[in-house]
Amino acid sequence: MEMIEKAILQVLNDAIEKDGLDPETALREFPEAWSRALPEVARTLLQELLRRSSRQLKLRRKDESGFRRRNFSRWRKGFDLLEVLIAIAEEAGIEFNEQFRPNAVEAQDFTFEALVSLHSRAVLISKEILCLLQGGFPDGALARWRSLHEVAVTATFLAENSVTVAERYLASFHVQALKTMIEYRNYAERANLTPLDDQEIENARQTVNELRIRHGEDVIDRAYGWAIGPLSKSQVKKGLKALEESTGLDHWRPRYSWASQYVHANYKPPGTLLGTSETDFDESVVLLSGPSNSGMTEPAQMMALSLANATTALILHEHNLDRQVVSKVILQLSTEIGQTFWNIERKTLEEHRRNLNGD
């Protein structure tokens, strides 16, 4: 930046003129002088950037708004169906919770509590995915789907097993809470966090000890130990994969591994992101750092199917004809969503290529 270049020259000039140094000596002593001047240079630069920010942000937001309109125009039919699916799933969950919660509380139906909680998270994550897709971030949507898949698999597993398994699943919260509290305490000073009260940690530890007595150390202390019973101790070592295999959802494993690449810091060469899937890399290499209107089909379809699984697991916890129909409607709609996005992608891409070729 021009401001930084001026600041560097000013430091050199000050050393020459004010300190009476010859140019060669000034250059040797420049690093120390620059170190002293750097905080003030940074403050000055920040003030200037903030002064200019209002106009720059206005222009950026105008561009982003225009992109979202164009993105929504391209994928509107698919986005509309996703919103309809989310609305149906959310309303089904609300109705189910309101109708059966009193009896579930009285009967200590831990499966009900677990499924309602997981379904609520599934709806929330689905809304986040839709927001990312509409904003032009298909790779972010795919990464978020990874969490939705975990929720759907866990819900399906709990729906297929006993209330004791669900009780242990709910109890696992306290184990994770204790681990988090201990980690928080260990790093509080370095992280500039307010220290936890020792009594809080002791109370949490006592709760976990009581759970160990009730359910056994293996169940409480192992990752996915709450699934021991339907699964063996050796099986739970595989974590989510064991739940996928138990529920017949292990065919999602390749997609889960794919989505995990967008969660972790694995190297992704240019052209391997969903957002660049329609780019002609014979002409240019794109290092994507913003929104794209490409690559919506896979995360949209995957979101729809996983939300359908999570919703079905909940509402069929109490069977009747109405909920069976709703479940079938949700599954059919999720299938239609995938086809709709695929049709949009194929049709609009063909039109774009014809326009480029002047056809």
Q: What is the pLDDT of residues 259-285, one digit of tens each?
A: 998 888 888 887 788 988 887 644 566
pLDDT band (50, 70, 90) for residue 231: very high
Q: Three-class SS of residue 358?
A: coil
61 pLDDT higher than 60: yes
Give 102's contacts (C-beta < 8 A, 6+ positions apart): none
pLDDT at 133 over 70: yes
8 Å CB contact between 136 and 291? yes
Q: Give mean pLDDT, residues 218-237.
A: 94
Most confident of 118-132, 172-186, 215-229: 118-132
**266 Cβ contact list (under 8 Å, min separation 6):** none
Q: Is the pLDDT of residue 4 over 70?
A: no
DSSP-assigned beta bridge partners for residue 231: 228
Q: Count H helices and E strands in the chain, helices first.
A: 13, 0
Residue 79, C-beta contacts closer than 8 angstroms, at least 6 positions apart: 72, 130, 133, 134
Residues 170 and 164: beta-carbon distance below 8 Å: no
pLDDT tens-digit map of 156-197: 999 999 999 999 999 999 999 999 999 999 999 899 999 888
CA distance 195 to 38: 34
Cα–Cα distances in angstroms (integers) from residue 133 to residues 87, 88, 269, in the given order: 17, 19, 22
Q: Could you tell me which of 209, 243, 210 has the C-alpha nearest to residue 225? A: 243
**Mean pLDDT over each residue of the chain, to the nearest integer:** 88
Name the residue among 328, 339, 263 with its Cα closest to residue 297: 339
Asked whether 126 and 89 are in contact (CB, 8 A), the reply is yes
DSSP string for 12-31: HHHHHHTS---HHHHHHTHH
In this prediction the pTM is: 0.89
Name the pLDDT band for 355 (thresholds 50, 70, 90).
confident
The segment with the largest mean pLDDT, out of 121-130, 197-206, 327-336, is: 121-130
**Confidence label for 255 from pLDDT (cuts 50, 70 and 90):** very high
Coil, helix or strand at residue 262: coil
DSSP state of 79: H
Q: Output the DSSP codes for 187-249.
A: HTTTTT-PPPPHHHHHHHHHHHHHHHHHH-HHHHHSTTGGGBTTB-HHHHTTTHHHHHHHHT-
Task: Name residues whose C-beta falls within 8 Å of residue 94's C-beta, 6 or more positions apart in sequence.
Answer: none
Burial-class residue 202 by CB neighbours within 10 Å (0-12, 13-18, 19+): exposed
pLDDT band (50, 70, 90) for residue 329:
very high
- Is there a contact between 244 and 250 (Cβ–Cβ < 8 Å)? yes
